[in-house]
Amino acid sequence: MIGGLFIYNHKGEVLISRVYRDDIGFFHVKRSNIWLAAVTKQNVNAAMVFEFLYKMCDVMAAYFGKISEENIKNNFVLIYELLDEILDFGYPQNSETGALKTFITQQGIKSQHQTKEEQSQITSQVTGQIGWRREGIKYRRNELFLDVLESVNLLMSPQGQVLSAHVSGRVVMKSYLSGMPECKFGMNDKIVIEKQGKGTADETSKSGKQSIAIDDCTFHQCVRLSKFDSERSISFIPPDGEFELMRYRTTKDIILPFRVIPLVREVGRTKLEVKVVIKSNFKPSLLAQKIEVRIPTPLNTSGVQVICMKGKAKYKASENAIVWEIKRMAGMKESQISAEIELLPTNDKKKWARPPISMNFEVPFAPSGLKVRYLKVFEPKLNYSDHDVIRWVRYIGRSGI
């Protein structure tokens, strides 16, 4: 198991150290300027150690925001307290922020004032089956938000051939629901729809065409996995507030929202002409936002002239790239940029890595075609259900990574 845990700043000074055993051997992850390192000399479960370090980052971020040297120093007492709770003798314990926040607070613990019931509620929650949610949550208005966030990943050969494309999607839920609500989430999963299709032929004809094939998905720990395995239904009691309900990956029939067509011409040894065309490839009624195209330039660039039809473009010498930004762009449109890059003559043999052109965007639909079909809510004790809950669903498609 984990023998000890350290947090270092970029100079290698120790900010936090907690030693459980006398061990050596390092695992580390980096967040901005901060290194989190776990040490061991046993044959530990390496995947678990890394997962734990990420989780630890999440927990810290949930408590005091950005993980920076300053924040860590400001909260070191809190961090020790958290560590004490989430890692015992190197064994990760309950690390759900929802549960932790019930008894580890930034104002110090007021345990002395807790009643006996409150205490046992805390302990049963921390150790219980539903460790991610506490009892007795009340909202005047029951409300939930579903965000379907997708990122499109595309690998292209230099010849413009698509080598592989996949969408990695996340369904993020923000729940503000009272009591212990039972939820059931449904989407246009091909397997489910085909299964139902056997019973009711009508539905197949209506929605069968739009169903999507999901290659694989993973769920937040609140989802009953055995039920998903047997019935492929997604049922759960959600944590309070924001959490990631599921992650999924699809590779079939992906709508690529844009096409990028680059054209590079070398004029002599000191000049480069670049032309890039982007075409939007979705319904004209929809608007893509925050479009940014990044065209890398050689290291020996001395000057750049750019002309673009739409948006703003700038050469950023420090980043070795031309950055072209477009605020909005409707579907089925086309736009282009051309640039002349002056190069300094060099005899530097070091080759330019020729990084690819990259593009960022946000579109208001799910490129995989995923649709939320329903989210049923039922709370047996407080007895409110579906129609008492206000639901919001949003789709966002983004560029990958």
Partner 1 sequence: MTDSKYFTTTKKGEIFELKAELNSDKKEKKKEAVKKVIASMTVGKDVSALFPDVVNCMQTDNLELKKLVYLYLMNYAKSQPDMAIMAVNTFVKDCEDPNPLIRALAVRTMGCIRVDKITEYLCEPLRKCLKDEDPYVRKTAAVCVAKLHDINAQLVEDQGFLDTLKDLISDSNPMVVANAVAALSEIAESHPSSNLLDLNPQSINKLLTALNECTEWGQIFILDCLADYAPKDDREAQSICERVTPRLSHANSAVVLSAVKVLMKFMEMLSKDLDYYSTLLKKLAPPLVTLLSAEPELQYVALRNINLIVQKRPEILKHEMKVFFVKYNDPIYVKLEKLDIMIRLASQANIAQVLAELKEYATEVDVDFVRKAVRAIGRCAIKVEQSAERCVSTLLDLIQTKVSYVVQEAVVVIKDIFRKYPNKYESVIATLCENLDSLDEPEARAAMTWIVGEYAERIDNADELLEGFLEGFHDESTQVQLQLLTAIVKLFLKKPTETQGLVQQVLSLATQDSDNPDLRDRGYIYWRLLSTDPVAAKEVVLAEKPLISEETDLIEPTLLDELICYIGTLASVYHKPPSAFVEGGRGVVLKSLPPRTASSESTESPETTPAGVPTGEQPDAIPAQGDLLGDLLNLDLGPPASGPPLPASSVQMAAVDLLGGGLDSLIGGPNFAAPPAAAAPANVGAAMGSGLSDLFDLTSGVGTLSGSYVAPKAVWLPAMKAKGLEISGTFTRQVGSISMDLQLTNKALQVMTDFAIQFNRNSFGLAPAAPLQIHAPLSPNQTVEISLPLSTVGSVMKMEPLNNLQVAVKNNIDVFYFSTLYPLHILFVEDGKMDRQMFLATWKDIPSENEAQFQIRDCPLSADAASGRLQSSNIFTVARRNVEGQDMLYQSLKLTNGIWVLAELRVQPGNPSFTLSLKCRAPEVSRHVYQAYETILKN
300's enclosing H/E stretch is none
Q: Which residue has the tokens 């890039």?
A: 276
Closest CB to partner 1 among residues 155, 390: 155
Q: Which stretch binds partner 1 (CB under 8 A): 24-32, 133-141, 253-261, 331-339?
A: 24-32
Query: Out of 101, 143, 147, 168, which residue is the one contacting partner 1 (CB under 8 A)?
Result: 168
In one letter, which amino acid is 396?
I
Query: Out of 5, 40, 257, 291, which residue is the one contacting partner 1 (CB under 8 A)?
Result: 40
78 three-class SS: helix
Closest CB to partner 1 among residues 129, 285: 129
Query: Out of 11, 12, 32, 43, which residue is the one contacting partner 1 (CB under 8 A)?
Result: 43
Report the C-alpha gap between 104 and 165 in whole angstroms: 44
**Least distance in Å: CB of 296 to partner 1?**
10
- CA of residue 310 relative to chain centroid, distance: 30
**Least distance in Å: CB of 184 to partner 1?**
16
Site for partner 1 in 329-358 (CB under 8 A): 350-353, 355-356
* Adjacent-strand bridge partners of 291: 326
Closest CB to partner 1 among residues 137, 165: 165
Site for partner 1 in 145-164 (CB under 8 A): 155, 157-158, 163-164
Q: Which residue has the tokens 């759900």?
A: 96
Closest CA to 253 of 188, 303, 176, 340: 188
**Least distance in Å: CB of 168 to partner 1?**
5
**Least distance in Å: CB of 67 to partner 1?**
14
Q: Which stretch binds partner 1 (CB under 8 A): 174-182, 204-212, 214-222, 287-295?
A: 214-222
Report the C-alpha gap between 2 and 308 in whole angstroms: 55
Query: Out of 48, 201, 309, 393, which residue is the one contacting partner 1 (CB under 8 A)?
Result: 48
Q: Which stretch binds partner 1 (CB under 8 A): 46-54, 180-188, 285-293, 311-319?
A: 46-54
78-87 long-range contacts (CB < 8 A, ≥24 apart) are 78/104, 78/106, 79/7, 79/16, 80/16, 80/18, 83/5, 83/16, 83/18, 83/56, 84/18, 86/55, 86/56, 86/59, 87/2, 87/5, 87/18, 87/20, 87/52
**Least distance in Å: CB of 242 to partner 1?**
15
Q: Name the DSSP class of 270.
A: T
Q: Does 32 bind partner 1 (CB under 8 A)?
A: no
Binding mask 245-264 for partner 1 (x = CB under 8 A): -xx-x---------------
10's enclosing H/E stretch is none
Residue 121: C-alpha distances to residues 99, 124, 125, 154, 265 (Å)? 11, 5, 6, 48, 69
Please give the size of the binding site for partner 1, defined by CB under 8 A: 89
E strands along 256-300, which residues? 258-267, 271-280, 287-296
Closest CB to partner 1 among residues 158, 199: 158
Closest CB to partner 1 among residues 218, 346: 218
Site for partner 1 in 64-123 (CB under 8 A): 70, 73-77, 80-81, 84, 88-89, 91-96, 103, 108-109, 111-112, 114, 116, 119-120, 122-123
* Adjacent-strand bridge partners of 398: 151, 362
Closest CB to partner 1 among residues 44, 274: 44
Closest CB to partner 1 among residues 103, 324: 103
